Amino acid sequence: GPSSVYEDGAPQIDRAIFKEGIPIFGICYGFQAMAQAFGGEVARTGTSEFGRTHFTADTTSKLFSGINSAFDVWMSHGDSVTAAPEGFATIGRASNTPVAAFESEDGKFAGVQFHPESIATDFGQEIFKNFINLI
């Protein structure tokens, strides 16, 4: 949603969870919180997105394997990830969001700025299946 990781009292991720060896998939605010926890950059760019947005995916990535390289997604955010954390590859972008998806080199951690659970996102179920198959 439109909440900011920079707001007073904003929920943060306990970094210890990443050491548990469990795969984690960050969605929207969770994507931003994951990026911040791993040392990536989240910024108030002054550009927010709400609604269907055209998305371009790196289909060589594990998360978007077997999915079209271009499709529409549902966005609802104010802040944006402007640099993926070290050890993560940027695997998707939108016109106003150059880092709209990333995954770690080992595939255990991935995130997307959009909402794959929304019926307004094309291939949402396939994205979830791809992440589950990484586990």
Q: Which residues are catalytic?
A: 28, 115, 117
Which residues are CB-contacts of 9 (< 8 A; sequence separation ≥ 6)? none
The C-alpha atoms of residue 101 and residue 34 are separated, in whole angstroms, by 11
Strands (E), 16-125: 24-27, 41-43, 49-57, 70-77, 80-83, 88-94, 97-104, 109-112
Other C-beta atoms lying within 10 Å of the C-beta of residue 67: 17
Beta bridge partners of 81: 42
Beta bridge partners of 71: 55
